[in-house]
Structure 1
Amino acid sequence: MFRTALRNVLAHKARLLMTVLAVMLGVAFVSGTLVFTSTISDAYTKSSEKGFDHVDVQIRPDDDKDAGRPGGAPRLSQDLLNKAAAVPGVERATGSVSGFAALADKKGKLVGDGFTTNGANYYGDDDPRYPMKSGEAPRTANEIAIDAKTAERTGYGVGDTVRMSVDGPVLDQKVTGVFTTDDGNVAAGGTLVLFDTKTAQQLFAKPGQFTEISLEAAAGTSQAQLKQATEKVLPAETEAVTGQKLADDEAAEIKSGMSGMRTFMLAFAGIALFVGIFLIANTFTMLVAQRTKELALLRAVGASRRQVTRSVLAEATTVGLIAAAVGLGAGIGIGAGLRSLMSAAGQTVPDGPVIVSPATIAASLIVGVVVTVLAAWLPARRAAKIPPVAAMSSVHAKATTRSLVIRNTIGSLLSAAGAALVIGAMSMSDGKAAMGGGAALLLIGVFVLTPLLSRPLIAAAAPVLRIFGVAGKLARQNAVRNPRRTAATASALMIGLTLITGLTVIAGGVSKGIDKMATGSLKSDYVVSMANFSPLNPEVDKKVAEVPGVTATSPLRNAPVSIDGDEQYLTGVNGKTIGDLTSLDFNSGSFAGLSGDKAVVDQKTADKEGWKTGDTVPLTYQDGKRGQLEISGIYEGNEMVKGIMLDTATLTPHLDRPTDMQLFVKMKGGESDANKDTLEKALGDNPAIAVQDKQDVADGVAGMINMLLYMLYSLLGMAVVIAVLGVINTLAMSVFERQQEIAMLRAIGLDRRRVKRMVRLESLTISLFGGVLGLGLGVFFGWAVGDLIKGAGLGTYEMVLPWGRMGLFLAAAAVVGVIAALWPARRAARLNMLAAIKAE
């Protein structure tokens, strides 16, 4: 039986080609994802390990011991650095201080990747962490050194003057040196700017303070020994950590980050493989149907049902192994290609080899074989159940009425349960799991019901198909002749379009909600912030307030406090102007008289804490001083404006280093290009500062959503490609099954042109049937998820149907149908009539 299975594979190479392609694409997606994430993870891990070459022990604040204190543990002092340097076994002690630093290129644009544009200190006369490639280390406040990769990208060299910013004000700095570094952020496309230690402390901390202290062990002293000795001089709220643990922790962090990306991409690989199951099942169903007499003969000469089933499954296993092996090779190429693509797009990745682990090889082979065998199991089981005499007499029946009734009943129950679960999840506080389970049940239920749905929906297309005469009528009849096959073919396309439509509806609703929120909750003309959303220097507020035409400003100055032992954040605002810059609905009280110990709070926080207007709330500020706030108003918050707000005059005296997250600005004449240009020039055309009007704020979020959406489209495109292969395969094998019929039609006068048209219209009808189901389900899921978003209190969703895009998706389904029919239609038109009529 095994030899028979192998001969069947070789005898039906062309028919199994599409199945091999479908499995290969899915496996390539899986193996490519695993190779890519393993390669990137390994490269970053090795790069981070190099970064700890000169660190045997690191002293840092212990956040766990300081969990109850607002603002976290204090920074490390110069006195601690001196004590650590005197610990026996210490060869060298280095103090580090770092923070955000934005560098402008020669065109004034921000260099680097936003969150990885950092600044740090060059410690002492010879800092081994940053060997100088050219020039010398910075020594004064107006000098810096830049990393070699940044110098290469920007064209800056020793002696050049560059513009940069740390927290708002523009700094003109002279480049005194170019250094090399193993910093993983720099390797990934970021920038690193070095200042002398005194300047770095003024910019990122306070004079005499450090973020970390690194110790290098003398010869003969182990990391564990040095750690033990160092702990004797540590003050409270600090800890000593070995360099090996730092490297291990960072490696685990990188692995965790890559794990999220891997899971995300594997989810789409799973979708592609799931869609491929329909193609494989369809292929083996048709192959088994075409070999019914052959299988019956095997039964007649002594083969058992189990042997027939095993024969078909052995055939599937062979196909799966071939597809998995080819897919693994393609996946390795995809993984290496994605890394090169990142480099070409400016996302530099640390150097390292392409990693193909044994787990990747095993996963690819297992996935390919298991998916193929699972998809072929039902057709194999059906084949074994056909009575030999009935099969050889060609009287084996199609699906009985009873089996269809059972199928439709099961499909109806699954669909009803899924829809009920989805609708029920909309009213839950955390209904994500229920929503996902309901969506899966509904999709499966609709798939089971698709044969029942195919007749009325395809019949609705009859008036249009009549326009094409006999070819159109035959196409409609062929499309509903085998409802199960039509259902399986259309379902593959349905799943892809359901996901694509649902994501589009959700993204459109979120974008619309954000746009409405930005325009509805703000009266200010502009929002000023750092480009990477890091803290903004309060000097920016003072500078903007002096700009001609500015009528009102208010910062959003966040600071941690302790309320009833829990850390919360206060937002300092200008109590006199905030009412003119925001448009918030108050349920009680108002912004009027927001000064002294008065505060307003959003409704969600008030409900959580049990506060109401007039209540007094005791708290502990960041500097340890106690105070109390009187709730003078409760408003409806949103993602832009929320939390506890009080006047900056009350909050600022308690802050070591006041910083703002945003600045609201109102100007005479409102939003205009001239006013925006005036603000940007007043801020020195600073690349690190973003000046945005309300539409810019909404567009910025919408742009990120659209970028994510297009990425999801590209990932889901794999499922659509497999769906196309499914349509091609179904039509090609259907043409093979109906070759006698087609030959008879040709013999009685149906010319080649109308035969081609018949096959194309059949393909178009099946594709549009799947497209309509996909659009309907996608809109339903988009509506349900949107309601869940609103129910979660995010308030940034407003249902909107993207009719234009939905029309494009339906047109794309039609194009899929036309393209998929090209080869089968050509094959049908070229059949030899006499040979086909004589064939059994």
Structure 2
Amino acid sequence: MRTGTRYAPDAACDPYESRVPEAVRGPFVGADATIRAAGRRPVRAGIGPMMYKLVLRGLAAHRARLLLSTVAVVAGVAFVAGTLIFSATLDRSFDRAFDDLGRGTDVVVRTDRAFEAGLGERAAERPVPRSVLAAVQGVDGVEKAHGVVTGFAAVVDRRGTIAGAEPQQGVAWDGDPDLSLPRLTSGTPPAAPDEVAVDVTTAAGAGYRVGDRVTVALTSGTRAFRLTGLFEVGDSALSGQLSMTAFAPETAQRLLSDHPGTYARIVVHGDDGVPQERLRDAVAAALPPGVEAITGREAVDEQAASFTEILKILRTFLLVFAVIAVFVGSFIIFNTFAMLVSGRVRELALLRAVGASRGQVTRSVLGEAAGVGLAGSTLGLAAGAAVAAGLARLMTVVTGGEELPFGTLTVPASAVIASYGVGTAVTLAAAFVPARRAARIPPVAALREGKAAPRPLRGRAVCGGVALAAGGGLVAAGLAADGSTALTLAGAGAMALFAGVVVVSPVLVRPVIRVLARPLVRGGTAGRMGGRNALRDPRQTAATASALMIGLALIATVSVIVQSMASSVDRQLDAGLTADYQVTGRSQITPVAAEAAGAVAGVDGVRSAIPIRTARFELDGSVRTAAAGPPGELLGHFRLPLQEGTPSPRGDALLVGRSVATSQGWTVGTTIKGRYQDGTRRTFRVAGIYADRPSVTPSAPSMIIDWAGYRARDPGAPIDRIEVDVANTARGALEAALAPWPNLELKDRAQVKDDAAGDIGLFLNLVLGLLVLSVLVAALGIVNTLALAVTERTREIGMLRAVGMQRRQVRRMIRYEAVVVSLFGAAAGVGTGVVLGVVLQRVMADGDGGMEVLAVPYGRLAVCVAAAAVIGVVAAVWPARRAARMNILEAIATE
């Protein structure tokens, strides 16, 4: 056989040519003028016009068979595109919102910060003296400068609950359009001490109109005001997501500021044409020590930084599930092209016989795959907009009904590139093996009838066994190791085990399905034949079931881990809750007033009411947090026995938990260089070490500092919660004492546990909801496989009908086959997922605060198996109806 240029044989002497049916001759011989019945013309090794025509005709001839593969590509690409569109839209909305918040502000003057607050932490702002405002107003280039007064203020609706979205903010009314965000829409601005203006969205939600008496919750308690005006907060999509209350300037100073006569910050509007950097430098030169100036752009970027970080985490989180959906879809694509190649043996052999090279056959199959990938990518990109809107609604549900500032959809270039890159690349990768298999078909196969003989599974067994052995070894090493190394080894081992199960699954098909198919014997002939059909091609059955197996394995793994986490937290809270009640804000950023702690402490029967403040400082360049309060009381309350040192540190001395001291190599008397948030540098000293047990008392602090010394450096440090111990106090008495603070919640131990369980359950439901997409894609794979199988068995089904099988029996046979394949995927997936979940739980069980309780959610797993059977029944509806409605004579005549 010559290489390079090939020649089509003469039709008169070619035995293959005379055997080509006209239906096959059309696309492969008669379709192109380069292959003729007489004469010889060279067919180049590259993919020329003839091969392009073959690809297009192949797509047209098998469009029905490729439809569901295209749908699988669409589903995966839509999730990828939707995630990128969703995050880009949110990015743009927040960018516009923060630009709106900073509009007109060229420079911001504030007190120095040694370090910024971490993600999800409240930043403590020290006040700016009023004298600084006068100094700033006298700087050349400053057109106007205003002091900002702000603090907590929340509107209380007629039912006594807090209205509006977080955060609830009170401000001093400033009608300057250059430096004030609120824009009055009706009524008049507040001027008297008992007047207030509220944003339009919050007022409408609470049912208030101009002229009504409005109750406003402040840090110091509730007060009644007359509503004089309504306003909008900026022009961006964020305007409806803020709750803002405005007071007259003098009233705001008195009610919102802990230090009257000071400002939270000073905002500066410069003369036209003065760059922000130049104005910042001029203002900074007039400032006293401890006060700094930054540009308005820098202030906006700082505000947006935490949101940007959260959006990055969210985007990564969603893309993980998009990758899972694409990965599951690749099994469908692989299975489709494998079955197409298997059913086109004679057709592809004839193509080889008329002169096509192996490379040309490979490229023709890959060309069909590229067509599927491009079509699926295009449709998936279009569907991504709907997915993005759906993700916005899902996040609204997750956040408790608070809508995201989701403006007009933004389609970034990354979404377009990723859609076509992922969709086409995955499709080509999934079709590569079937394409190579097609190229190996010898021309003599055109003389054979039927499909190619199934290939042996020895290679699969060997490769799968190696992967399982490697995974087992890595898991064993992880269980024997400590710390992050253990989790890394166990995670790698779990992935290897998972891969091994996928590879070896065709070997497991026959024994497992024989067991699963036994109950189908009661279904008569249809049941027995359905079970046998599932055993015909173990590779095909395994590939079909693998898509479902992956989805259910992930669901089972996540379910075991999250259920174990919930049970572990529940046990830890049972053992470690040291207070009878906790008083907290209704959100993480809602302040808890010191007056509230005093009111609770004054209730008869209350043994103690300890306010827990979070102190933040820097030690050896790392930001640390500690509980600020009376050290002796905190040790006793959290049941932390002092092992070394004194229980009464003063000034810059610290009490440190044993776990932190051991990890840092600290002992009593150790000194550490550091600084407070106001920039003051100090040498901190370890005054004592106590026995901390995070697994027993998870709410206990890792460090303790005396509040009497710390408050000089951070007087505005907020109270996170109040820990209340009671003797015989009724809950009603505590609620009555907290009545002036409707922004606070009183929780007993059961409610604290329910909140923790609710957060974990919410996370579980979110993850399971996203994983359902992979299960739905797997269901498409079952439909696709059955539809292709019905097409392949057209003549066989016709013969069965001819010998007396009724239509309902045909439908039942297809349904039984689908159910058996689905149950195989469910059994393998759930079993693998439980094993992986147990392995990861055991690795994470070690150490303080670990996931010490193993909990397998048998009920949820049983629902998964039952759902798989239902998926099989539903997936078989269309293929079964199609098989039952075949014309008997036409089916028998099919070749």
With the length of structure 2 as denominator, give the TM-score of the two structures. 0.84
- Structure 2 counterparts to residues 734-749 of structure 1, below 5 A: 734-749=789-804
Distance in 1 (alpha carbons) for counterparts of 2:616 and 2:496: 45
Q: Which residue matches 1:780?
A: 835
1:258 counterpart = 2:311 = yes
452-461 or 642-651: bigger deviation: 642-651
Q: SS of 1:178's equivalent?
A: strand
Quick one: structure 1 residues 541 and 353, their matched pair in 2 at CA, closer, same or farther if it must change by over 3 Å? closer
Q: SS of 1:131's equivalent?
A: strand
Asked if the contact 2:126/2:714 (under 8 Å) is kept, the reply is: no
Distance in 2 (alpha carbons) for counterparts of 1:827 and 1:838: 17
Asked if the contact 1:165/1:686 (under 8 Å) is kept, the reply is: yes
Quick one: structure 1 residues 761 and 679, their matched pair in 2 at CA, closer, same or farther if it must change by over 3 Å? same
1:258-308 CA deviation, whole Å, 9 max, x = no partner? 333222222211111111111111111111111110110010000111111
Asked if the contact 1:168/1:689 (under 8 Å) is kept, the reply is: no
Q: Aligned to 1:571, which of 610, 624, 627?
A: 627
Quick one: structure 1 residues 514 and 110, their matched pair in 2 at CA, closer, same or farther if it must change by over 3 Å? farther
Q: Aligned to 2:356, which of 300, 303, 306?
A: 303
Deviation at 1:653? 7.3
Letter in 2 for 1:802: P
Q: Which residue matches 1:334?
A: 387
- Structure 2 counterparts to residues 637-648 of structure 1, below 5 A: 637=694, 638-645=697-704
Letter in 1 for 2:484: D
Letter in 1 for 2:548: L
1:558 counterpart = 2:614 = yes
1:177-225 CA deviation, whole Å, 9 max, x = no partner? 3222228695252312234455545634422333322110123433233
Q: Which residue matches 1:273?
A: 326
Letter in 1 for 2:726: M
Deviation at 1:399? 4.3
Q: Aligned to 2:93, which of 43, 56, 67?
A: 43
Q: Aligned to 2:232, which of 172, 180, 185?
A: 180
1:821 counterpart = 2:872 = no
Asked if the contact 1:186/1:192 (under 8 Å) is kept, the reply is: no
Distance in 1 (alpha carbons) for counterparts of 2:321 and 2:115: 42
Letter in 2 for 1:776: G
Quick one: structure 1 residues 655 and 31, their matched pair in 2 at CA, closer, same or farther if it must change by over 3 Å? closer
Distance in 2 (alpha carbons) for counterparts of 1:314 and 1:325: 16
Deviation at 1:438? 3.8
1:113-154 CA deviation, whole Å, 9 max, x = no partner? 44x222333358886433333344445665433222222322
Letter in 2 for 1:542: G
1:465-509 CA deviation, whole Å, 9 max, x = no partner? 333333333222221221111111111001111111222222212
Letter in 2 for 1:208: G
Q: Which runs of 5+ in 1 are unaligned?
A: none
Q: Which residue matches 1:546?
A: 602
Asked if the contact 1:517/1:796 (under 8 Å) is kept, the reply is: no
Deviation at 1:365? 2.4
Deviation at 1:575? 6.5
Q: SS of 1:101's equivalent?
A: strand
Q: Which residue matches 2:15?
A: none
Asked if the contact 2:649/2:655 (under 8 Å) is kept, the reply is: no
Count of residues in Structure 1 that have an aligned counterpart in Structure 2 = 827
Quick one: structure 1 residues 611 and 369, their matched pair in 2 at CA, closer, same or farther if it must change by over 3 Å? closer
Distance in 2 (alpha carbons) for counterparts of 1:333 and 1:43: 18
- Structure 2 counterparts to residues 95-244 of structure 1, below 5 A: 95-114=147-166, 116-123=167-174, 128-139=180-191, 142-167=194-219, 169-182=221-234, 187=239, 189-197=241-249, 200-201=252-253, 203-244=256-297
Letter in 2 for 1:553: A
Q: Which residue matches 2:47?
A: none
Q: Which residue matches 2:577?
A: 522
Q: Which residue matches 1:315?
A: 368
Distance in 2 (alpha carbons) for counterparts of 1:304 and 1:92: 80
- Structure 2 counterparts to residues 75-94 of structure 1, below 5 A: 75-94=127-146
Letter in 2 for 1:157: R
Asked if the contact 1:553/1:574 (under 8 Å) is kept, the reply is: no
1:785-840 CA deviation, whole Å, 9 max, x = no partner? 33444446443552211111111111111111111112222223333334333322
Quick one: structure 1 residues 733 and 165, their matched pair in 2 at CA, closer, same or farther if it must change by over 3 Å? same
1:434-454 CA deviation, whole Å, 9 max, x = no partner? 555444333222111110122
Q: SS of 2:484's equivalent?
A: coil
Asked if the contact 1:589/1:634 (under 8 Å) is kept, the reply is: no
Quick one: structure 1 residues 552 and 459, their matched pair in 2 at CA, closer, same or farther if it must change by over 3 Å? same
Quick one: structure 1 residues 144 and 805, their matched pair in 2 at CA, closer, same or farther if it must change by over 3 Å? same
Quick one: structure 1 residues 60 and 433, their matched pair in 2 at CA, closer, same or farther if it must change by over 3 Å? farther
Q: Which residue matches 2:592?
A: 536
Letter in 2 for 1:798: V
Q: Which residue matches 1:459?
A: 514
128-137 or 490-499: bigger deviation: 128-137
Q: Aligned to 1:631, which of 688, 701, 705?
A: 688
Deviation at 1:546? 1.5
Quick one: structure 1 residues 669 and 267, their matched pair in 2 at CA, closer, same or farther if it must change by over 3 Å? same
Letter in 2 for 1:309: T
Q: SS of 1:451's equivalent?
A: helix
1:430 counterpart = 2:484 = yes
Deviation at 1:49? 1.4
**Root mean square deviation, CA, Å:** 3.4
Q: Aligned to 2:567, which of 509, 512, 522?
A: 512
- Structure 2 counterparts to residues 394-793 of structure 1, below 5 A: 394=449, 397-401=452-456, 404-425=457-478, 427-431=481-485, 434=489, 436-534=491-589, 535-560=591-616, 568-573=624-629, 582=638, 584=639, 586=641, 588=643, 601-611=656-666, 630-631=687-688, 633-637=690-694, 638-645=697-704, 656-657=715-716, 659-669=718-728, 675-684=730-739, 686-791=741-846, 793=848
Letter in 2 for 1:602: G
347-356 or 313-322: bigger deviation: 347-356
Q: SS of 2:241's equivalent?
A: coil
199-208 or 42-51: bigger deviation: 199-208
- Structure 2 counterparts to residues 368-379 of structure 1, below 5 A: 368-379=423-434
Distance in 2 (alpha carbons) for counterparts of 1:161 and 1:794: 50
1:291 counterpart = 2:347 = no
Asked if the contact 1:430/1:792 (under 8 Å) is kept, the reply is: no
Distance in 2 (alpha carbons) for counterparts of 1:187 and 1:51: 10
675-684 or 595-604: bigger deviation: 595-604
With the length of structure 1 as denominator, give the TM-score of the two structures. 0.90
Q: SS of 1:661's equivalent?
A: strand
Distance in 2 (alpha carbons) for counterparts of 1:380 and 1:491: 21
Q: SS of 2:182's equivalent?
A: coil
Deviation at 1:21? 1.1
Distance in 1 (alpha carbons) for counterparts of 2:78 and 2:186: 45
Quick one: structure 1 residues 318 and 588, their matched pair in 2 at CA, closer, same or farther if it must change by over 3 Å? same
Distance in 2 (alpha carbons) for counterparts of 1:104 and 1:425: 54
Distance in 2 (alpha carbons) for counterparts of 1:256 and 1:578: 34
1:367 counterpart = 2:422 = yes
Distance in 2 (alpha carbons) for counterparts of 1:47 and 1:715: 29
Same amino acid, percent of matched pairs: 37
Letter in 1 for 2:142: V
Distance in 2 (alpha carbons) for counterparts of 1:575 and 1:225: 48
Distance in 2 (alpha carbons) for counterparts of 1:358 and 1:7: 32
Distance in 1 (alpha carbons) for counterparts of 2:472 and 2:352: 44
Q: SS of 1:553's equivalent?
A: strand
Asked if the contact 2:169/2:243 (under 8 Å) is kept, the reply is: yes
Distance in 1 (alpha carbons) for counterparts of 2:466 and 2:405: 53
Quick one: structure 1 residues 557 and 35, their matched pair in 2 at CA, closer, same or farther if it must change by over 3 Å? closer
Quick one: structure 1 residues 825 and 39, their matched pair in 2 at CA, closer, same or farther if it must change by over 3 Å? same
Distance in 1 (alpha carbons) for counterparts of 2:304 and 2:281: 24
Asked if the contact 1:590/1:634 (under 8 Å) is kept, the reply is: no
Deviation at 1:651? 6.2
Distance in 2 (alpha carbons) for counterparts of 1:562 and 1:319: 57
Q: Which runs of 5+ in 2 are unaligned?
A: 1-50, 118-122
1:303-331 CA deviation, whole Å, 9 max, x = no partner? 11111111111111112222222222222
1:282 counterpart = 2:345 = no
